[in-house]
């Protein structure tokens, strides 16, 4: 599917999304992520922030390998409820296994998030996930 210009602008204007994955039995797992958009695909990388287990055994990656359907919510919230907005993306997710795609997405992530500029991120140690939206729902409290 193609995202609308308004959806692309909303994605690009925000810094954090909430990724929902589920294992094969349907147990949900939701975490905040940093992401980058290339065209109508979104990417995130498992970086060097501290983790209880190694990057390749994270729950989000295990869930994606079992069930590639994920959801990403990007939102505006504040006490002025007339300004509420969110974009819900239903996506098919997969690990990036192409070096050129990995490097292009990593360059965009580094442009968006300064801490990534100092991290030595490599495909062998830092898996990257591509999310391809197949459905979207964009909502704003006011037009």
Domain layout of the chain by residue ranges:
5-140
The pLDDT mean for the chain works out to: 92
| 33 closest CA partner among 83, 91, 79, 100 | 91
Tell me which architecture the domain covering 5-140 has in CATH. Roll (2.30)
Say how far apart CA 114 and CA 104 lie, in whole Å. Answer: 16
| pTM across the whole model | 0.92
Task: Let me know: does 102 contact 123? Beta carbons within 8 Å.
Answer: yes
Does the pLDDT value for residue 105 go beyond 60?
yes
- State the pLDDT at residue 58: 84
- On the 0-12 / 13-18 / 19+ scale of CB atoms within 10 A, 45 is buried
- State the pLDDT at residue 142: 79
């Amino acid at each position: 599917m193609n995202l609308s210009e308004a959806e692309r602008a909303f994605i690009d204007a925000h810094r954090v999304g909430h990724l929902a994955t589920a294992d094969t039995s349907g147990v949900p797992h939701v975490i905040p992520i940093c992401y980058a958009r290339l065209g109508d695909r979104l990417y995130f990388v498992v970086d060097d922030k501290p983790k209880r287990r190694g990057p390749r055994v994270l729950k989000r990656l295990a869930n994606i390998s079992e069930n590639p359907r994920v959801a990403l919510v990007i939102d505006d919230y504040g006490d002025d409820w007339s300004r509420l907005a969110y974009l819900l993306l239903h996506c098919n997710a997969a690990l990036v296994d192409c070096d050129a795609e990995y490097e292009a997405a990593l360059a965009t992530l580094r442009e968006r998030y300064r801490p990534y500029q100092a991290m030595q991120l490599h495909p062998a140690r830092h898996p990257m996930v591509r999310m391809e939206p197949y459905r979207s729902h964009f909502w704003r409290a006011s037009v």
